[in-house]
Amino acid sequence: MIDTDMQNKKIHQGRNIKRFREMLGIKQEALAFELGDEWNQKKVSLLEQKETVESDILTQIAQILKVPAEAIENFDEEQAVNIISNTFTSNDTSTLNAINVQPTFNPLDKMVELYERMLEQQREMIEKLERLIEKK
């Protein structure tokens, strides 16, 4: 039953863009600036409301945010919360006890890697904004 629910659940790519952008501390205006002249804050806001985002735009945003496009395409917050709560709130010794998943990677390593990329992206964005301010 869980597998069927997960397969039927639609991933909201626009909301995922917003989540990753906010985790990185990037404003809509800054993302619009990085996307190019035809973009503005309002257009980014509208994009974040779309359930499905065009693959070329999604790829461009993933590059700007320095996250894999697959993360934006597939991230399901509800599933992530369930995995975390079932992993860290149980007193028994089973791993991921509510969901039978055997990841081929260490999820903690992936979280640290994502966090490090987010920090680096934030530093780069601050540098770009400082250069932009200096020009004016």
CA-CA distance, 47 to 20, in Å (whole number)? Answer: 14
Distances (CA, A) of 89 to 68, 74, 79, 109, 114: 29, 25, 15, 20, 23
Q: What pLDDT, on the 0 to 100 scale, is given for residue 61?
A: 95
CA-CA distance, 88 to 94, in Å (whole number)? Answer: 10
Enter the pTM of the model.
0.56
Instruction: Give pLDDT tens digits for 83-132.
Output: 555 555 545 444 444 445 555 667 777 788 888 888 888 888 889 888 88
Q: List, as one string, the DSSP characters of the chain.
A: -HHHHHHHSPP-HHHHHHHHHHHTT--HHHHHHHH-TT--HHHHHHHTT-SS--HHHHHHHHHHHTS-HHHHHH--HHHHHHHHHHHHS--SS-TTTTS----SS-HHHHHHHHHHHHHHHHHHHHHHHHHHHHH-
Instruction: Give pLDDT tens digits for 21-46.
Output: 888 889 999 999 999 999 999 999 99
Q: What pLDDT, on the 0 to 100 scale, is given for residue 73?
A: 86
Other beta carbons within 10 angstroms of residue 10's beta carbon come to: 8
Token pair recorded at residue 20: 């990753």
